[in-house]
Amino acid sequence: MGGCTTTANTRAAQVALMGFDVDGVLTDGTLYFSSQGDEIKAFSSLDGHGLKLLQRAGVEVAIISGRSSRALELRAQNLGIAALHMGVEDKRGLMTELAAQRGIVLAQAGYMGDDVVDLPILRACGFSAAVADAHDEVRARVDYVASKGGGRGAVREVCDLILRAQGKWDAAMAEYLA
């Protein structure tokens, strides 16, 4: 699908819980390791502010990653994201649990991914998005494809889309545009 379609807006308007993959979505997908074996990740401040805006607007943000890293723990803490789930093999199963714990259905959940391992959760959620440089099979099966790549503003683009679709954009921008 891709692009900003009526379907994407309609589905984004229903999102109460939005999940994001990490490698390739919140980052550009490159894995850096120090000589001591520490994993180093680069995150976009633009994306981070989008996640904060989404949370302030009442949309819960979850990070669901197949990998674990201290860098990700620190970034989630910095952004005030309590729903950090690392080392997850069954992302769809976890999202189903998260939705049930919050008393919502999967139609009210969204997810942004980049690779074929994300397809089960993307297809289960009511709203699905991918980065511009996602795998072809993913881009072909989501509601929205961002114009930007992973770690380069794609997450912010999706956060903004959700805020606009929910009619929360003006309130989110009020303090900046006054």
% residues pLDDT > 70 (the chain):
98
Fold (topology level) of 6-172 = Rossmann fold (3.40.50)
Q: Could you state, in order of their start, the residue ranges of all structural domains in the chain?
A: 6-172
User: What pLDDT does residue 1 have?
Assistant: 43
Length of the chain: 178
Range 145-159 average pLDDT: 98
CA dist., res. 31 & res. 93, Å (int): 26
Range 143-163 average pLDDT: 98
Range 154-159 average pLDDT: 98
Query: For residue 8, which of 139, 94, 126, 100 has the smallest C-alpha distance?
Result: 126
| Number of CB atoms found within 10 A of residue 2's CB | 18
User: What pLDDT does residue 37 have?
Assistant: 87
Least confident segment among 39-43, 53-57, 112-116: 39-43
pLDDT of 78 strictly over 50? yes
pTM reported for the whole predicted model: 0.95
